[in-house]
Amino acid sequence: MSDLIQLLPDNIANQIAAGEVIQRPASVVKELIENAVDAQSTKIELHIKDAGRTSIQVIDNGKGMSKMDARMCFERHATSKLKSADDLFNLTTKGFRGEAMASIAAIAHVDLETKIEANSVGTKVSIQGSKVTNQEPVVRPTGTSITVKNLFFNVPARRNFLKSDSAETKHIVEEFNRVALTHPEIAFKLTHNGNVVFDLQEANRRKRIVDLHGNAFNNKLVPVEEKTDIVSIAGFVGKPEFARKTRGEQYFFVNNRFFKDSYLHHAVSAAFENLIPPKTFPSYFLYLEVDPKTIDVNIHPTKTEIKFEDERSIYSILRSAVKLALGVHNIAPSLDFEHEPQFELPLSMKNAPLVEPQIKVDPSYNPFNVGKSSSSSSQTPSGDKNKWTNLQPNRSDWENFYEINTEKDKEVEQPLIPEEEVETNHSSHARSIQIHGKFLITQIKSGLLCINISRAKERILYDELMEQFIQCPITSQQLLFPVEIKCKDEEKKVWEENKVSIHRLGFSWSWNLKTMVLDGIPSFLTIDDVESCVLEMIHHLMYKEIDKGSIAHEMILTLAKTDSKHINYNLSQEEISHLINTLFLSNEHQYTPRGKKIMNSISVEEMNNWF
């Protein structure tokens, strides 16, 4: 029997590794920029074309590589960052496994130019699919330039799974932001198809955050700082009033390395408890410093997950640090234990004499005396010596309490519930009851029908808007005072790409650099909901893969959902009946446009089983 197990060729092994390390163009950007940082660069440039599909180029002014290093860096597990196994527990660099360059070279065309300061000329190496096609001297300044072209040229299935250009560009910008936020001491530049997206100069952390997210962000930041033997925490959190409906600017860094951690995210969210509405997310840029020996960064191929040795203590310290920062800056209430425990009196009462409080009672009050006339119960305190009245119940006030005004009930429009669900001997007198302002309960033939008011309104409004949108643009109301919304470059781009559909929805706007100036909104939308609605629409356009034909559907869904949140908690019988009638006129009255149930029924048999 012949042997079955064989060693994989290097090109196949590199492609397998690339499947884990290089998932999309943003993965290439991450690895190349991190290598440039590890090379002690002070200036890094990133140039991409067609969202990285055509070309990704990273240029730095770091230490560069020798002729031998330029060739060796493309070998698997070749690295300058580790000398022994002990170094795994004392990492201070971004990369260390030596898989990135080999993985990139296995699935793309790569040109590397590099030079060290001691040499007069540099080296150029060209590789296609792990095969070196050329190596020659080149004249260039000290540092390294890497160009990656035709990504996934030999893995067409992976290339077909790439998202739209706007989605892939978004991921690239996110990876760029993560590294740029970690190293404000380095100047960064990002261009896309020749257009400058960011040109960041050396700065401090706060200035770097503002440069990346806009000048308006400067007033939203609250500094956080805490130093302990376990962890040192620095950075910023956003003020509660600027919390958003979608996850946005949320960054954790440990030892200058970006990472994700849901457990520590919960610590920050807990610090904002009772300060922000439910289902909103605060912004934070938090930098943690710990002993490298107490963390393990080698638990995930992309190195974005980290295991802490004392995670519980870090959770408590982080939560306390954020809560303290919010309290110190008068954003959250805090207790001052150093304050003198004395009453604070107005200055005008400083020298006033102390007066013993007096309790006044009615000596003639008899709780068992119920024979008073109704006239006495309607009296008010006057200037007589008792200054009290006997407030006794008046029998005439209760005589008509339980009387039913049947004439008024007959005038109320009755709910238009489907014939098969209506009990014939009850249909003319059935009334709907509103429960906790959220639900409607009405009687049907089989038992009771419960309707979710918010979801019913969402279905009704969606149907109305979709019908109107198809026929003509939705009515717009012009604003006397325009609403200004700060947007990022990618948010502005995706909004403008869909401006035709958005105009038909009733929005009109202009731009002041990165600020959207809304001067017209749909007539049914309130001013308070404009910003949250627009940001949610942008979120759907950026993060969800939406076909061109479904863009209007998604945006109308957002509008309907936004307006349906406003429930009249005291609906009259006319309003309740109109709501139910309109709902049952819809062909899809059972479910919302997002597929959530609007109503549910309870049979008489089920209710009998309760007792």
Residue corresponding to tokens 């990165």: 514
Q: Are 35 and 86 in contact (CB under 8 A)?
A: no
Residue 121: the pLDDT is 92
Sign of CA dihedral 237, 324, 532, 545: positive
Residue 408: the pLDDT is 43
Q: How many alpha carbons fall within 13 Å on the CB side of residue 285?
A: 27
Q: Are 479 and 520 in contact (CB under 8 A)?
A: yes
> With bands split at pLDDT 50, 70 and 90, how would you rate the model's confidence at 136?
very high
Backbone angles phi, psi at 401, to 5 degrees: -65, -40
- Two tokens at 51? 């969202």
* Per-residue pLDDT at 263 exceeds 60: yes
Residue 25: the pLDDT is 93
Residue 85: the pLDDT is 59
Cα distances (angstroms) measured from residue 50 to each of 47, 167, 194: 10, 11, 10
* Per-residue pLDDT at 611 exceeds 80: yes
Least confident of 159-163, 169-173, 394-398, 477-481: 394-398
Distance between CA atoms of residues 306 and 260, nearest Å: 8
Q: What is the mean pLDDT of residues 279-301?
A: 85
Indicate the pTM of the whole model. 0.58
- Two tokens at 336? 């001052």
- Burial of 331 per CB tally in 10 Å (0-12, 13-18, 19+): middle
Distance between CA atoms of residues 316 and 228, nearest Å: 12
Q: What is the mean pLDDT of residues 155-182?
A: 89
Rg (CA), the chain: 34
Q: Are 535 and 485 in contact (CB under 8 A)?
A: yes
Least confident of 60-69, 141-150, 297-306: 297-306
Q: Which residues pair with 259 in a beta bridge?
A: 252
Smallest CA-to-CA distance from 200 within 223, 173, 221 is with: 173
- Rounded to the nearest 5 degrees, what angle is found at the Cα of 102, between the Cα atoms of 76 and 36? 110
Which of helix, strand or coil describes residue 527? helix
* Per-residue pLDDT at 214 exceeds 80: yes
* Per-residue pLDDT at 383 exceeds 90: no
Q: What is the mean pLDDT of residues 310-336?
A: 79
Proportion of the chain in helix, strand, coil states, percent, rounded to 5: 35, 20, 40
* Per-residue pLDDT at 3 exceeds 80: no
| 450 vs 93, higher pLDDT | 450
* Per-residue pLDDT at 169 exceeds 70: yes
Percent of the chain with pLDDT over 90: 27
Residue 339: the pLDDT is 45
Residue 549: the pLDDT is 53
> With bands split at pLDDT 50, 70 and 90, how would you rate the model's confidence at 454?
confident
Distance between CA atoms of residues 360 and 380, nearest Å: 16
Longest dimension (CA), the chain: 118
* Per-residue pLDDT at 89 exceeds 80: no
- Two tokens at 27? 């993965």
Angle between helices 489-497 and 165-182 (to 10 degrees): 170
Sign of CA dihedral 17, 44, 87, 78: positive
> With bands split at pLDDT 50, 70 and 90, how would you rate the model's confidence at 444?
confident
Residue 372: the pLDDT is 47
Residue 349: the pLDDT is 54
Least confident of 372-376, 541-545, 588-592: 372-376
| 588 vs 180, higher pLDDT | 180
Distant-in-sequence, close-in-space partners of 451: CB < 8 Å, separation ≥ 6? 439, 440, 441, 442, 580, 583, 598, 599
> With bands split at pLDDT 50, 70 and 90, how would you rate the model's confidence at 166?
confident
Give the mean pLDDT of the chain: 79
Q: How many alpha carbons fall within 13 Å on the CB side of residue 186?
A: 27
Residue 376: the pLDDT is 42
Residue 201: the pLDDT is 94
Q: What is the mean pLDDT of residues 405-434?
A: 49
Smallest CA-to-CA distance from 64 within 6, 119, 131 is with: 119
* Per-residue pLDDT at 47 exceeds 90: yes
Q: What is the mean pLDDT of residues 184-197?
A: 93
**How does DSSP classify residue 435?**
E
* Per-residue pLDDT at 126 exceeds 50: yes
* Per-residue pLDDT at 544 exceeds 70: no
* Per-residue pLDDT at 191 exceeds 90: yes
> With bands split at pLDDT 50, 70 and 90, how would you rate the model's confidence at 566?
low
The full 3-state SS of 80-112, as one line of letters, equals CCCCCHHHHHCCCCCCCCCCHHHHHHHCCEEEE
Q: What is the mean pLDDT of residues 152-171?
A: 86
Query: What is the number of other CB atoms lying within 10 angstroms of the CB of residue 355?
Result: 6
> In sequence order, which ranges of 259-354 are alpha helices (DSSP H)?
262-271, 311-328
* Per-residue pLDDT at 423 exceeds 50: no
Least confident of 92-96, 114-118, 420-424: 420-424
Smallest CA-to-CA distance from 439 within 447, 430, 450, 449 is with: 450
Residue 315: the pLDDT is 92
Most confident segment among 232-246, 426-440, 584-598: 232-246
Q: Are 82 and 38 in contact (CB under 8 A)?
A: no
| 410 vs 523, higher pLDDT | 523
Q: Are 240 and 278 in contact (CB under 8 A)?
A: no
> With bands split at pLDDT 50, 70 and 90, how would you rate the model's confidence at 407?
very low
> With bands split at pLDDT 50, 70 and 90, how would you rate the model's confidence at 245?
confident
